[in-house]
Structures are given as C-alpha cells and as structure tokens.
Structure 1
Amino acid sequence: MRVVLADGADERARVAAARLAAEGLADPVLLEDAASACSPAVRAQAEASPFRERIDLHDPLHVAALMVAAGEADACVGGASRASADVVRAALFCIGPAPGIDTISSCFLMVLANGTPITYGDCGVIPEPDAEQLASIAMATAATHAQLTGDTPRVAMLSYSTKGSAEGAGVDRVRAATRLVRERMGSLAIDGELQFDAAWDSGVAAAKAPDSEVAGRANVFIFPDLDAGNIAYKITERLAGARAYGPLLQGTARVMHDLSRGCDADDIVSVALIAACQAAQGRQ
C-alpha cells in the first residue's frame, strides 16, 4: 500500500518513512515539496472538489489528501506539525465524506500496558456533538475497533450518570444517542448512560448496572464531548502507560489519518501501518 506522509519536512516523518520502506510495511511517499507533487490528476481532483476555492496546492496536507482522492496513493497520514483542525479540513475539502455519511469523526486506538486494546471516540474532531452526531461517532468507532482488533465491540456511552443516577441535558443527549444506535444497529452491544467505572470495572458494574450486557466489559468508550475524550486519552497515555494511535479519522471516502503533535517516529509508523491495512481492506 502506498501511504503519503504529509509531514515530509519533519525529521520524525523521515525516520518513519525509512523504517516503513526498510521493513516492507508500506510504500511510503515522503511529501517534502507539495508543489512538485501536483500532477495533472491531483489538479483535476482539486478542480472537481466543491471546496476548490479553499484548496491550497502549496499545502502538503491538501496535496497529500488529493493524491489519495486521485488514486495516486492508497492512504495518507499527516499532522505531526499541524493542528488536527488542519488535517480534518484537508480531509473534508480534498477527499470528502463516504457515501451516506454526514459526520466525520475520529477515534484513538489505545493499547494498554498489558496489551489490551480499547478504543476511544471522539477525541479530535467534534467539540459538542448532538445526539445524531454522537450516535454516528458510536457506530463508526465500533466499526473501527472491530476492523483493527478483530474483537466484537461492546460500546459504553459515557456520562457522569449511570442508569439514572443523575439528570441533565448532557445525560439526556447520551440516552438519546444510545436509543438511535439501538434503532439503527440492533446487533451492536451498546449501553448508556454509564460512568466510566461502571463501564470498565465488573465489580462496580454489578452494583450500578447489574442488567447491562456492556457494563464491566466495555472495549469501546464514547465520550459525551471533545473535552472529555481528549483529556481522557491523554491521561490514559501519560498516567497508565498506554500507547495511543490516532486520531484516526472516520467517515471519509478514502483513508486519511491525523497525528498528535506529540508523536514520535514510532507513532507515525504505527498510524501509517493502520492506514495501509484499512486501505487494503477497503480494496477487498
């Protein structure tokens, strides 16, 4: 799989590209000069975009995304030196949402110190999701978790309340989103509203949500807003020693992923490998 690394001027991306090539993990394209990568197909793709007036052919994020949209690469990864908002805009302007998708969101694949994979969403895109957006985030994150881990997703819709222990507009939104997901994906194991301890710990779950099929066993955690999700993934990474892979964008027509500005070369390699695997599965 051909993966464009949009941060070609960043030493971390150079090291990652060398490793990807040397170990045969992917065919990396290190985008050091955006203008030189503007082939006729890339320019045509830019002209065809409904956001063409906002596309900058000197911006490596935009050009990398256009290369994917034009079929000159299978996936792209960028953002080591850019804000997540820049990456999301590039994905929206240059690739666009997948058919039938109206919410582009993100998740983090978290690998705990003991090797257990869990997935957090949304931690990078939508600041204050409404119930419809929260439902879309839950369904997309469950699909990403299943795709990347092979595990059956068990989705906890997180809140400061568990099963009516508190009330408020935020709790109502989480409950509404949970109902929407159940209506649309009846086979998905999902429950909410749940506090994190009830979602994670079987002993707490037995006391707070004894009838839940998810409580105490969740492996996908959906946060009520971006504040909660972003703070939680950084706490899990820094205090619990977990590895955080992402933000992995969800809902785009082709594969494009973001990077934390605190990433290292190993993180870029891992996210590029995730992107390559997803692109290969998409082809199949």
Structure 2
Amino acid sequence: MDILSKIKEKAKANRCRIVLPEGGDARIIKASRSIVDQSIADITIIGGLEALKKEFSDMADRVDIMDPDSDDRIGAYIDDFYEMRKHKGVTRDDAKKLLLENSVYIAAMMARRGEADGFVAGASYTTRNVARAAIQCIGVDKEMGVVSGAFIMALPDKKFGDDGIFIFADCAIVPDPNARQLSSIAISAADLLKCLLSIEPRLAMLSYSTKGSGAGDSVDKVREATESVKALRPDILIDGEFQVDAAIDPGVCGIKAPDSPLKGRANILIFPNLDSGNIACKLTQRLAGAKAIGPVLQGLKKPASDLSRGCDSEDVVNTVSVIAAMA
C-alpha cells in the first residue's frame, strides 16, 4: 500500500468533517465529489447556494453546502469572532465584513467551534490569508509556539528517505526562523510524520555546512536548534548541521559525517529559512517528479492546510486526506 492509500485509509477510519471554503473553484468542486465518493471525509463546502446545489444535485444528502449570504449559522460565527477580536479594536461590523468577504474565516471558525475537524484552503486564497485565518480563529498550540508549513513529499525514486517519503519544513510560513522557532518546526515535523504514517522520524537540520565545514550566523543557528531538539525531545533521532547530500545519501554521509547516527537516511529535512525550504520543495516537485502534499499548517490547535494556487483536484483530495487523518 502506497503512502496516499495509507493516509486515505486512516482518514476514512477517522470519518471527520473538513471544510472547503472555496466552493466557486472548479477544482474544489471536482475534489469534493471524489472525497465524498471515496468516503474520505464528510465535507462542508462554502459558496453560492444555487450553483452548488446544481453541482451536487446527485449527492445533495451527502454534501453540506453553506452560503454565507443566507445560512443561519453565519451569525454565530460573526458574534464569536467579534468577541475574540474586540480587544484588538475589531467591531461587529468589521467581523461581519471580514467573514462574509473571506470564507476561509468561516471555515476556521467552524473548526474552532468544533463543528468541523479541520479545513483546507488556498486554491484561490494566498498562504498569508489562510495562515492568518487559522492563527486568529483556531489558535497556536502553546507547546509549539510557532506555526509553520510542512510538505509531505513522495518521490518516485524510492531509494531516498523512507521508501521515497520525506517531510520538508518550513516551506510556507516563517521567513527567517530563529533557533527556538527552528527547533519547534523540527519537533512539529517529527510528530506529523509519526502521526500520519507511524514512521520513526529521522531529522536532518540543513545548512551550507556539514559538521563544521562552514561557519556563520546561519550555521550557528542550526546547531543551536539541533541541540535544543535533542534536549527537549530525546526520543527524536536528529543530527545537524548537514548539507543535503550528506543528509540523504549514505555514501556521502560516510565521507562527510561518518559518525552521524542518521547514516545519510534522513526522512525529514528542516531548512534554515523559508527561501531554501520553498525553493527545495518546488524544485523537487518539478525536477524529480515528486508528489507534494500541503503545506500542512503545523503548530495549530486543530488541523488545517494551505494549498498551492497551482494545485489540481487530485492535490486537494490528497490534502484533505492528510487533514482528516490528522484529526
């Protein structure tokens, strides 16, 4: 059974409700039909009532359609958001305008209130909009302290990672994490891999240096983050700092870092900044033919995920499967 099949089976067993707030997008509609047909999750889709009723006329009893302009549930979400944010100067009119014009906030409020187990958005919303809604409505896990974006990467070449599986982080949220943030990103990624696939995490903290071959502030940051993870979570196998070839190739690791417990078999790659993480993810996807799922938003109180605006319907199905499996 491949990775996606395993994740989908876990999602089906959880039988969660996931909100898709971009119901006007053809990719979301197509994905919703597939999700329901495969029984991956129960779906609430947000958009124009008449258009969506027509799209789902053959499965009306299996899809929850919410039109922000007419649904009776919206008032409670507006009231709750106002109460949450009034200390920031938000008025009820502000809250109403924000939610009615940005359905991703409705999705996030449903998750906050326990009416849904998570949400997936980003086909049209930017990562910034999706992350802001998640942080403001769902909230940050105090233990983690930072929200980050992780991609599950499935490579056709099975000799790398764990049968071709990697997690890349952070590829979406924190532009230049400090050592504390980097250690939290690493811990979140380790927990994500174990939760989703029951695979023991093997983390490499990446740099332009391998075990002292280079020097600089960035190298020092990665070393400090590595030691922090070791102290906070001694159960996690982690090493660094590493150039990526030493992290994933046993032959190169044997030359550059022969004493490393990773032995060139990392299945989680933690990048020193957002530039490197985002570039690496897209290069691996385009040049190596990898399937990239996410970015899953780590460090929240409930599961949520962004999407690439270049996603297709299959990407949406896969990402919903991950969020449902996490719930």
TM-score, structure 2 as length reference: 0.82
Task: Within 5 Å, give how 1:65-84 maps onto structure 2.
Answer: 65-84=108-127
Of the three residues 102, 106, 114, the one matched with 2:145 is: 102
Identity of aligned residues (%): 43
The one-letter code sitting in structure 2 at the alignment partner of 1:201 is D
2-structure distance, mates of 1:175, 1:44: 46
Of the three residues 22, 31, 36, the one matched with 2:46 is: 31
TM-score, structure 1 as length reference: 0.94
Quote the residue 2:24 is aligned against.
9
Quote the residue 1:57 is aligned against.
99
Instruction: Give me the CA root mean square deviation.
Output: 1.5
Contiguous gaps of at least 5 residues in structure 2: 1-15, 48-66
SS at match of 2:167: strand
- Note the C-alpha offset of 1:12: 0.2
Pairs aligned (count): 279
Kindly indicate whether residue 277 of structure 2 is the aligned counterpart of residue 262 of structure 1. Answer: no
Quote the residue 1:282 is aligned against.
none
The 10-residue stretch of structure 1 (46-55 or 25-34) with the greater mean CA deviation from structure 2:
46-55
Shift >3 Å, 4+ stretches: 33-41
Query: Structure 1 225/36 Cα, relative in aligned 2: closer, same or farther at 3 Å?
Result: farther
Task: Within 5 Å, give how 1:119-130 maps onto structure 2.
Answer: 119-130=167-178
The one-letter code sitting in structure 1 at the alignment partner of 2:45 is L
Task: Within 5 Å, give how 1:149-228 maps onto structure 2.
Answer: 149-228=197-276
1-structure distance, mates of 2:284, 2:124: 22
Of the three residues 155, 172, 193, the one matched with 1:145 is: 193
- Note the C-alpha offset of 1:190: 0.4
Query: Structure 1 205/27 Cα, relative in aligned 2: closer, same or farther at 3 Å?
Result: same
1-structure distance, mates of 2:80, 2:107: 12
The 10-residue stretch of structure 1 (66-75 or 94-103) with the greater mean CA deviation from structure 2:
94-103
SS at match of 1:160: coil
- Note the C-alpha offset of 1:99: 3.7
The one-letter code sitting in structure 1 at the alignment partner of 2:115 is E
Which structure has the greater CA radius of gyration? 2
The one-letter code sitting in structure 2 at the alignment partner of 1:100 is E
- Note the C-alpha offset of 1:215: 3.9
Note the alpha carbon deviations across 1:34-78, whole angstroms, 9 max, x for none.
344543442343133246827511111111100111111111100
Of the three residues 112, 135, 139, the one matched with 2:155 is: 112
Of the three residues 288, 295, 314, the one matched with 1:240 is: 288
